[in-house]
Structure 1
Amino acid sequence: MFKVKVFIVILTLFFIACNKKSFESSEELLEYLQQPENGYLYSKTINDVDFSILYKPTDLLVDQTLSRVVTKSKVDSLRTKYNEYLYFSLSMSKNNQELLSNVVGNKQRFGAMVNELAFGMEQKVHLYTKQKDTIAMADYIYPRVYGMSGATTILFVYPRDERLTNTEVMTLTIEDLGFYTGEVKFKIPTKIINNEPGIKF
């Protein structure tokens, strides 16, 4: 009986591996990810604020780090490094502008929002499992673009916790950032993690 179970697990992993999509370049992969029907991009608009969540597979991070000289050992090393985490890119905009551009006339609100975006987002964004287990944020990156972008974009990093990969759905929530949106909630199937596409390096 044990041998049968082991065989089924191996067969399942083999099936998943064979069905993973692989692209010739990061541009092709990104184009695939940005098509909502493929399950990696989620968007909604609440009170004129546009929110979108993009899950970034490991190979996108690998490609951004690789130098011009690409070797199998370097790719494997970077994949091992980045595969320890999950990466979600959150984009928020109002009137096709980044959030700060919408409060620039109010010095107090502007200063408070700069501080919140730079240092307080781990208190505002939460990821948890179907069983309501909260996954602690590992890090986040908020690049200041000084009004040069049409959206506020932040990269959130979470550990690749087995509680996520062993459940069907994960939920990412964003608390109200002062634009009267209430809590914004995205339900994301975990199959996108277990079967994420890659790049043919």
Structure 2
Amino acid sequence: MCLAFGCGNKSFDTAEALQLYIQQPENEYVYSKTVNGVDFSVLYKPTDLLVNQELGDHKSAEIVDSLRDKYKAYMYFTVSMSKNNQELLSNVAGNKRRFGAMVNELAFGMEQKVHLYTPKKDTVLLVDYIYPRMYGMSGATTMLFVYPREQKVTNQEFMTLSIEDLGFYTGEVKFKIPTKIIASEPRIQFN
């Protein structure tokens, strides 16, 4: 169990308390940058937040353990990007061609734009990503990226999440993320 979740990891009574904890920059689960007016944020989502999302009212120890086993094989990163406190698409809405190209890129091409790699430049292959369309109702374009929890990453001191320029003249934006946050993921006390 210590290998999967780390020993001495923090524990919280509720998902809300865990969410508040990981949103504090000093705890190293969230990273933010602004480049050329585009705000970027990367948040590592601990396994128990995904477990809680699927759990509902059925909180037996067996179901919790089963869901933890299901989700612990992966690392989950929420990437948020906004310009002028709006979704990226809202900033290109006046240009039909650019709007269509960006919709296509966000929905189908992000595996070519977002990369996770080790200090030795070993690339971790993207398992999946989710781009929920918010149709201008959100203050940011927020996506979930899923990577396998591989030893070649977790055995390193840090990993780098890189986001290529999406047409806003930001260049490549990189986030150096310590792997200790994965080894010592905070948990929720479900019982």
Would you say same fold, with TM above 0.5? Answer: yes
Match of 1:57 in 2: 46
C-alpha offsets along residues 137-171 of structure 1, whole Å, 9 cap, x if unaligned? 00000000000000000000000011011100100
Q: 1:150 aligns with which of 139, 152, 158?
A: 139
Partner of 1:118: 107
- CA deviations 1:161-191 (Å, max 9, x no partner) are 1101110010000000000000000001100
Does the alignment pair 1:44 with 2:41? Answer: no
| Equivalent in the alignment of 1:167 | 156
Unaligned 5+ segments in structure 1 are 1-11
Determine if the alignment matches structure 1 residue 107 to structure 2 residue 109: no
Count of aligned positions: 188
Q: Partner amino acid for 2:11?
A: S
- Whole-angstrom CA distance in 2 between matches of 1:77 and 1:130: 33
What residue number does 1:27 align with? 16
TM-score, normalized by length of structure 1?
0.92
> Which stretches of structure 1, 4 residues or longer, exceed 4 Å deviation after superposition?
none
SS in 2 for 1:130: coil
Q: Secondary structure at the match of 2:146?
A: strand
Secondary structure of the corresponding residue to residue 121 of structure 2: coil
Equivalent-residue separation in structure 1 for 2:117 and 2:182 (angstroms): 14
How many percent identity over aligned positions?
Answer: 71
- 3-state SS of the aligned residue for 1:101? helix
Shift of 1:70: 1.1
Structure 2 residue identity aligned to 1:196: E
Corresponding residue SS for 1:186: strand
Q: What's the offset of the Cα at 1:67?
A: 2.3
1:69, distance to aligned residue in structure 2 (A):
2.0
* Structural mapping, 1:73-152, within 5 Å: 73-152=62-141
Structure 1: distance between partners of 2:108 and 2:14: 34
1:72 deviates by: 0.3
CA–CA distance in 1 between the matches of 2:42 and 2:90?
A: 21
User: Partner of 1:114: helix, strand, or coil?
Assistant: helix
**What secondary structure sits across from 2:49 in the alignment?**
helix
2:25 is aligned with what amino acid?
P
CA distance in structure 2 between the partners assigned to 1:84 and 1:160 by the alignment: 5
CA deviation map 1:72-124 (0-9, x unaligned): 00000000000010000000000000000000000000000000000000000
- The aligned amino acid for 1:173 is S
What is the letter of the counterpart of residue 121 of structure 1? M
Structural RMSD (CA): 1.2
Give the secondary structure class of the aligned counterpart of 1:156: strand
TM-score by length of 2: 0.96
Q: Which amino acid aligns with 1:42?
A: Y
The Cα of 1:125 is off from its aligned counterpart by 0.2
Query: For residue 116 of structure 1, what is the amino acid of its counterpart?
Result: E
**Partner deviation per Cα, 1:34-66 (whole Å, 9 max, x = no partner):** 000000000000000000000000000000000
Is 2:56 aligned against 1:71?
no
Describe the SS at the equivalent of 1:55: strand
Please state which structure has a larger fraction of its residues in helix. Answer: 1
Largest Rg, 1 or 2: 1
Aligned partner of residue 196 in structure 1, secondary structure = coil
